[in-house]
Amino acid sequence: MKILIEIPRTDIKDAMSFYDSHKNNVEVIVTKKFEGVMDIISMVVDVTTTFGPYVIDFLMKRKEEGKKSTIKIDGVEYEYDTKEELEEILKSVNEEE
Amino acid sequence: MTIKDYISTSRKLLNKPVNKIKYESILKDLHFGRRIDLKLEVTYSLNRKTEIAELKGEKYLIYDQHLGQTFYELNRIFFGAPKDEIGLCYCFKLIGENLQLRNYLNASLFFAHYFTNFYPFFKEIKPFEKEVVLFSTLQEYFVIAHEISHEIMSMEGASDLFETTKKLLTKNHVDIFEHIDLTEESVTNSYVNSLMETMRYPEELRERVQKQSESMFRGGLKDYINKTRNLITARKDFLEEVICDEIATNMVLKLNIASPETTIRAIHIGLFNLRLLSIANRMAAQIKDKNQTIDDYFFESNIRLNAFRKNFETTFRIKYEKVDLNKFLDLLTTDNERYSKFIGNPLLYTAKTDVNDVSEQPKLMKRKYKPTEIKELNNLINKAFR
């Protein structure tokens, strides 16, 4: 299953470092896209069984640091507060596939 | 990974056929012999979003055909709606779909229910098929030309254009206040009149609405001028939008699809359509992210529209040698009034009040559901809206 992660363009270093470490599962897309006043950068991430935990770590670490990230699955934005909720979202979408 | 992966993860795709040949032809028309390396992807999604995306060194123009379809529907309402309930109904659909994209499924269903109740009014729309099709086509050309303009600017730099645009905007939106009699009182009165008419408040409420609005606008004019100055000097992205509107307008005019007046009228309404879509999107986004204020966006958008107006006036006078533009400018003002009455104000006032009410109800603001609930709710919403 593939998901989209959107983060502010000011955090581009985070995106590039995630991409550099996992080139097989992560792709960075550059768009001229503003969400409101925020310029964002997008990443398509292939959430396989083995790579899923890395994605969860990446997103939860950003949350702990108070950094904004949005996840989209099939164009729909999902909300999560805890690691368990994030796991649940990824699991349920995987099951549906 | 391919561009298709980006498209399918970033958008909620709708199962509708796309007409790629049509948009390839539009793209080709707009090249004017210039080398622009953009690969076209046509999609049909609930997001109605057209953008340029770069992946592995390749640039793609992603055109959303649903945007063109939405232009068609909004133009139908603009030309033929006999009452504003129809525009309001369509705004409920836009808000409901934006809520669906953020997984506010109960809230989306709430607006879907409103939409279904009002939908029978759509039968009352008078047919203006020829005008609606022509305007929608010109608006699609404009949107694609606007994206190409961003690409041209990234290739050619255009620092001169930024300076000229900055000067033009400062002259028309900051310096102008030294020469006109716009006062807080006149701004407040115009707001009150609009609110009274759209909300259909009884006349006896006018005094109360007036008092509340006066307190809202106090000191507003000075703030407005400062905000404008800041927008013009500090927001390069905003200046680029203004410049791309101008380049795109000239590109579409050059194609002679319709008379210059009709082309400008269509683009003018098209800019209203785009603003409406953006506001509906922001209304849903604002529930969670209070930074996405609609007032700020509306303010920016007004300046962008005024710049568009100033730019085409110059083109008309110089290139088309049209001396007296008064009659045409009056027509645009009438268009503006009709659009506000039948589409814009229902969204900004009536639908906005409903969004505020809904956002205060925790049951409707739920975003976490079990997979079976997601499926069932989405089925119900889709049935109502599409």
Q: What's the CATH class of domain A2-96? A: alpha beta
Chain A positions in Cβ-Cβ contact with residue B46 (cut-off 8 Å): 75
Residue of B nearest to A76 (CA): B101
Sequence spans of domains, chain A = 2-96
The answer to whether B1 faces chain A, any CB pair under 8 Å, is yes
Chain-chain contact of A29 with B53 (C-beta, under 8 angstroms) = yes
Chain-chain contact of A75 with B10 (C-beta, under 8 angstroms) = yes
Distance from CA of B382 to the nearest CA of A (A): 14
* φ, ψ at B288 (rounded to 5°): -95, -40
Distance from CA of A54 to the nearest CA of B (A): 18
Q: Say which residues have a Cβ less than 8 Å from residue B62's Cβ, sequence separation at least 6.
A: B3, B7, B41, B42, B43, B49, B50, B51, B52, B53
Chain B positions in Cβ-Cβ contact with residue A37 (cut-off 8 Å): 291-292, 296
Tell whether ipTM is more than 0.90: yes
* A contact set with B (CB within 8 A): 2-4, 27, 29-39, 42, 44, 46, 72-79, 85, 92, 95-96
The answer to whether B179 faces chain A, any CB pair under 8 Å, is no
Give me the residue label for tokens 């086509």: B137
| Interface A:B, Cβ pairs < 8 A | 89
What are the Cα distances from residue B279, in Å, to A24, A72, B35, B370? 38, 21, 35, 30
Q: One digit per residue, pLDDT tens: chain B, 386 residues?
A: 899 999 999 999 999 999 999 999 999 999 887 888 899 999 999 999 999 999 999 999 999 999 999 999 999 999 999 999 999 999 999 999 999 999 999 999 999 999 999 999 999 999 999 999 999 999 999 999 999 999 988 887 778 889 999 998 888 878 776 766 677 788 788 778 877 776 667 888 888 888 877 776 677 777 778 888 999 999 888 999 999 999 999 999 999 999 999 999 999 999 999 999 999 999 999 888 777 678 888 888 988 998 999 899 999 999 999 989 999 999 999 999 999 999 999 999 899 999 999 999 999 999 988 888 999 999 999 999 98
**Could you tell me the pTM of the whole model?**
0.91
Chain-chain contact of B9 with A46 (C-beta, under 8 angstroms) = no
Q: Using only the alpha carbons of chain A, give its radius of gyration.
A: 13
Which residues is B59 bridged to in the sheet?
Answer: B54
